[in-house]
Amino acid sequence: MLAKRVLSSISFLLPNRQSTESSNAALKQHQLPKQAITLACVDLGQLSLAGIKGVILDLDNTIVSEDDRYLSPGAEIWIQQAKQKGFRFFVLSNGKRQYRVDAWRQRLEVPILSPAKKPFPKSFRRALLQMELAPHQVVVIGDSCHTDVLGAWLVGCFCIQVTTLPHPPRWWEKLCGRLVQIPYPVEQELWDMNGQPAFHPNQLK
């Protein structure tokens, strides 16, 4: 009896169970996916509903293959559409070819930091500072667990891992394989540098 009276007297301090459940349901409904096939497959409406206002992008093997052979289908169109909706962008690349970085900075019309030394947090924090956004307002989109996903986790950002565009694998990619990257599906559309359909390397074998 005494316990009931105590609970009744402090009930206004306790969270409303129905309200909490509704809030959790709403969060679950707008939860971002952890993976997507390509950048263009990421739903901009879903990002908005989740409170995302900025995107930190990877360049190599996310937008363009590092050997400049393939483009991610629709990636540049997706970026333009996102800009029109008010999303802010920053590209972090571990690439060291400055001429290439400069070319893509002009082509995408977004700031690019390279070499970004991902997954270390410094470059991610610099991107957040320039976009003037908090970590929970930003999603990192890239193809590698050990750079993009880990870097996002270290600074508290959301992350969506996309499949990696076909490219000559480096030694750690050969060693770790699917632990660090998701192979680009053979049946998925692929573009060449002119935006034309291209054959997946495995289709030619």
Q: Which domains does the chain have, with CATH numbers?
A: 32-204 (3.40.50.1000)
Which pLDDT belongs to residue 170?
Answer: 72
Residue 56 sits at φ, ψ, to 5 deg, of: -100, 120
pTM as predicted: 0.84
Q: How far is the C-alpha of 89 from the C-alpha of 68, rounded, in Å?
A: 22
Which pLDDT belongs to residue 15?
Answer: 37
Which pLDDT belongs to residue 14?
Answer: 35
Which pLDDT belongs to residue 157?
Answer: 98
Which pLDDT belongs to residue 203?
Answer: 73
Query: What is the 3-state secondary structure of the chain?
Result: CHHHHHHHHCHHHCCCHHHHHHHHHHHHHCCCCCEECCHHHCCHHHHHHCCCCEEEECCECCCECCCCCEECCCHHHHHHHHHHCCCEEEEECCCCCHHHHHHHHHHHCCCEECCCCCCCHHHHHHHHHHHCCCHHHEEEEECEHHHHHHHHHHHCCEEEEECECCCCCCHHHHHHHHHCECECCCCCCCEECCCCECCCHHHHC
Which pLDDT belongs to residue 129?
Answer: 98
Over the chain (205 residues), the average pLDDT of each successive run of 10 is 39 36 41 95 97 97 96 97 98 93 96 96 98 98 96 98 90 69 94 91 71
